[in-house]
A and B are shown apart, each in its own frame.
Chain A
Amino acid sequence: MNEIEQTGLATMRDCWITGGTTFDLAPAAWQQIASSANPDERERRLLAIAAQALDIALRPAAPKMLKQRPPLPELALPMLPERLRPLLRAALKHAADARTKTRVATLVASRGFVLHPMDWMPSASYQESPDVYAPWVDWQAGVGGEKQSRREQLTVETWDDFYPAARRTALADMRRTAPALARQLIEAKGSSEPAEIRSALIELMRFGLGADDVPFLKSLSADRSGRVRELAGRLLARLGEHGNPGDGGTEDPTAELAAFIAEGKSGFIRRRTTYTPIRLKAPAQEARRGDLFATCYLGDLAARFGVTESDFLGAWQFGVDDNADLFLVRMVSVSGSDAAVAHLADTLGAGGGKPALLVLHLMARLDSGRKRVLTRQILKDTQNLHALNQVEGIEAGWLEWADLTNGQTLPALRSAVAGNDEPVKRSADQTLENLGFLATAATAEKLIGDVVAAGMAPAAPSLGLLRLNAALAGPGIDT
């Protein structure tokens, strides 16, 4: 279309918008085509020519500024083979929320693959994605600039070259292998970060926490962020450093908490000390006690009674007051030493039954071995299989067939599948999904066969994760 035609078209367009005849405004060549007809027909002919000109001779006007995102980084693991994507999509579709979808990604990552970005992307805000996805988390977070997530060593010099998620992953790794180096980095760079990032960095100190960290953590008592001060205090408490040494006066919260606990003796021959929560008379007392458990530290409380943390926990009378038990376990999780956490987890786990479920509140502090013990305990007891869903941060794909047969889990599942009780069936579906994450490939395959034999539809959606798990059996997988 030449310039005259373009100008003519623009004028005609303006005329048609308001209404009127455009014949006199049309380019001469167009007038010639339309001239032999009556006025209405002339307008229609010009309209047809204009429509065709708009369609083939003009192109959309692009905005001056179009923003391009950086390319999505490639990850360190290969993509899940194409043939397994239908199974994956079925498992993702059945996963109810971001957390369970992330567990699907975690299982796949544990077998050496990552998901296709159009099937699943880690959320920028949800921090439980497998570490291999850190570059995508950073990409999702939309961190500006041209820098890439780097695989080189994190140092003071390379600090700014790492996006936050990649930096967090690198620091967590470093805390496990070279905690002093990581601490020095946090010390050097953390102070210039905003409070939110600073507290996230301090939170990483929980990995490989040791006595060498005490001076730095103590220095944070003057930090301008209350959240950072609180975190540092808890970490110090875990190291046995009394964060809130009380004076024993009426304003001392530890003394106030201790007043809610009765010290006594039990046993006729060997007199043992016991600590029992006193019976409360009013909801206000209950609330106050809850607040005190949440703010005081275990070490301070034990010291108040003149015993070690482990002795205090050993003498606590579980089962007298369920709320007090729960508050205490949470307190141990927040401020107990590693030894106290391990002691409590072992004590509660060995007892089995309902108190053993309190270990779930220690989840963030438990090592991998104790998490497995807890899982096996839940499976063995069978009564609280729903608790499997609360076992956070546990590895995928380790549960053996023997772990399932060592208890009543399998018979319970078979019975639920064969029965007609819908709530029980739904609960079994949930358990199967959890087992789909925990089981080895061989266990997954066996379990599918077992529940199908019991009457479950072989293609049932709740078997989706188990099917994916079984299909991800190591050596046969190709990329």
Chain B
Amino acid sequence: MEFDLKTIEALAPDQASLSAASKLTKQSNWPRLEKNEELALIWGECQGSGSNPYRVVVETGDDGYKCTCPSRKFPCKHTLALMWIAATTPASFAVAGSTPEWVNDWLSRRRKTTSQPVEPTQGAGGKSIGEAARDESSVVEDAAAVERREAAQRKRAEDTRSAVSAGLDELDQWIADQLRLGLAGFVDNSSDRCRRIAARLVDMKATALAGRIDEIPSRLMALRSEERPDAAIRELGKLVLLAKAWRSAPDDPELRRLVSTSESREQVLANRDATQVESAWEVLGEKIESRRDGLVSHSTWLLDLNSASSQFAQLLDFFPASAGRRSNAFTPGDRFEARLIFYPARQPLRALVADRRGDVSSGDWPDFGVDASDPLAAHVARQDAAPWVTDCPVMLPPGAILLDDRGAAWWQAAGDPHGIALPIADTVNPTLLGLDLKATAALWNGSRLELLAAQSGFGRLDLS
């Protein structure tokens, strides 16, 4: 590793990036720092503001780099921080014999330029690494200022609550209108109708709920026409339940998150009542969806390998679609020890990685004792506790994938040709039709299964 601070200074796009990078050079921000000197590579995972860590790799030979963050600055603060650590504390990097698959993936897509590594230049365009490293946290607020700030916060919260309440009144009326006018018309015209009420809800600060309503048309269109009325009843009915629940407990963190805004990462980490689970986790898969509101939602689903029953966690981030395609934060099949903090909820699911420790060796999933008589029992339990939830992770018992006469794929429990069959969203890899599935992790959205991963006679299968 041949970085020096002058090179980093020269690479930095501006002084702000250097300042931001300096704050990320603490070891605690980097649960993973590794290097392979033979391949001239360093890489790491930086726990940024999102739930999914950012993955950063740098080729030290030519200063080539890649980070999974959505920043439009190149290199971003995470890349600069990784180089900074390499320059100042190279011993922080563990020696790795092989490169992870995400690094290989970057290497395989990389088109190398013929440009030479950046040469440090005097002054580097007014950027100064010394200035960036200076502690900027010395500003002390006086007590009166704190009081004023908190009062303003309270006022804003009260205003938001009033606005949201008014927004939900409009939503109630809108739902009643849809029922009166007929769901057939709603299904046909859902795009415009949902857009209009979603725009109103954004105005009334019910942002999260607006985003959810904006997605209803695409969820309906993913189904066959004869299924859409039932799906519309489910979608609108859940909105009614959510609005009612919020009115009865507007400060409930789960409901506030689903209706207006989510708490920050720092607030969740500081919440002593939040559920914490320290365990071995396996990355089941990822789900990346472009939303109509211009955001991309990025979910990573984890499975608790030490739990007696199947327990899941969701790392969820949103970033603007304009930031371009984002690389995956984890590789399906990765296993690691970690302490997860769950966002408070009736059935906690969304989580943050608080501490990540070493990797765990691969192997089969434990036997979770899944109820073969009703593969959706976990979904039912979750709906009983939080009936406004849409997607629910389930662990399915032994089964297989079959095709109906239209070529659509279904999951069906093994040895029960007349038992429950669950339709699968999208097409499946044809190879999957010949594999026995000992256990399958999937998301059930009330109408379709989205497969995440499975265990089979051929080992672990990545299905997301």
A79 touches B458 (CB 8 A): yes
What is the minimal beta-carbon distance from B451 to any residue of chain A, in angstroms?
12
Whether A52 contacts B112 by the Cβ 8 Å rule is no
Interface pair B179/A16, CB less than 8 Å apart: yes
B440 → chain A, closest Cβ, in Å?
Answer: 14
A266 interface hit (Cβ, 8 Å): no
Name the B residues within 8 Å of A56 (CB-CB).
379-380, 383-384
Which of A18, A22, A48, A89 has the most B CB atoms < 10 Å from its CB?
Answer: A48
CB contacts under 8 Å to B, within A23-70, are: 40-41, 43-45, 47-52, 54-56, 59-60, 62-63, 65-70
Tell me whether B49 is interfacial, beta carbon within 8 Å: no
In the complex, the answer to whether B182 meets A55 with C-beta atoms within 8 Å is no
Q: Quick check: A89 and B101 within 8 Å, CB to CB?
A: yes
Interface residue? A354 (CB, 8 A): no
B362-380 with Cβ < 8 A to chain A: 362, 376, 379-380
CA distance A93 to B175 in the complex (A): 49
> With A52-B383, A93-B108, A118-B461 given, is the CB distance from A13 to B233 under 8 Å?
yes
Asked if B62 and A457 sit within 8 Å, CB to CB, the answer is: yes
What's the Cα separation between A163 and B60 when bound, in Å? 53
Stretch at the interface among A299-307, A324-332, A459-467: A459-467
Instruction: Flag whether B197 is at the interface (Cβ < 8 A).
Output: no
| Residues from 69 to 87 in A contacting B, C-beta threshold 8 Å | 69-72, 74, 79, 82-83, 86-87
CB-based contact B38/A458 at 8 Å: yes
Would you give the shortest CB distance from B25 to chain A, in whole angstroms? Answer: 25
> Which residues of chain B have C-beta atoms less than 8 A from A48's C-beta?
237-238, 240-241, 244, 387
Interface size class on chain A is: 35 or more
Quick one: which of B233, B384, B405, B410 contacts A51, CB cutoff 8 A?
Answer: B233
How far does the Cβ of A70 sit from chain B's closest Cβ, in whole Å?
7
Cβ contacts B22-33/A at 8 Å (1 or 0 each): 000000000000
Is A51 within 8 A of B234, CB to CB?
yes
Q: CB distance B183 to A16 under 8 Å?
A: yes
Residues of chain B contacted by A83 (CB below 8 angstroms):
98
What is the CA–CA distance of A20 and B183 in the complex, to the nearest angstrom?
A: 10
- Interface contact B39-A459, CB-CB below 8 Å: yes
Flag if B114 contacts A65 (CB, 8 Å): no
What A residues does B236 contact at CB under 8 A? Answer: 47, 51
A-contacting 9-mer, from B77-85, B199-207, B269-277, B417-425: B417-425
For residue A17, which residues in chain B have a CB less than 8 angstroms away from its CB? Answer: 182-184, 229
Q: How far is the CA of A67 from the CA of B421 in the complex (A)?
A: 12
Q: Which residues of A contact B396 (CB under 8 A)?
A: none
In the complex, A52→B234 CA distance in Å?
Answer: 7
The answer to whether A51 touches B237, judged by C-beta atoms less than 8 angstroms apart, is yes
- Say if the beta carbon of B19 comes within 8 Å of chain A: no
The answer to the question of A121 belonging to the interface, with a C-beta cut-off of 8 Å to chain B, is yes
Q: With both chains docked as a complex, state the minimum distance between the C-beta of A379 and any C-beta of chain B, in angstroms.
A: 26
Q: Does A117 touch B at the CB level, under 8 Å?
A: yes
Flag whether B123 is at the interface (Cβ < 8 A): no
User: What residues on A are CB-neighbors of B244 within 8 Å?
Assistant: 48
B405's contact among A16, A63, A68, A90, by CB below 8 Å, is which?
A63
A19, CB-defined interface residue at 8 Å: yes
Decide if A118 touches B429 in the complex (CB within 8 Å).
yes
Please report the C-alpha to C-alpha distance between residue A450 and residue B61 in the assembled complex, in whole angstroms.
17
B171-198 toward A: CB 8 Å interface, digit per residue (1/0)?
A: 0110110011111110000000000000
B294 interfacial by beta-carbon distance below 8 Å: no
Chain B residue, CB-CB nearest to A71? B434
Interface string of A115-142 (1 = CB under 8 A from B): 0111001000000000000000001100
* 5 closest Cβ pairs, A-B complex: A51-B237, A19-B182, A72-B434, A62-B421, A40-B176
A interface with B by C-beta (< 8 Å): 13, 16-22, 40-41, 43-45, 47-52, 54-56, 59-60, 62-63, 65-72, 74, 79, 82-83, 86-87, 89-90, 93-94, 116-118, 121, 139-140, 420, 422, 457-461, 464
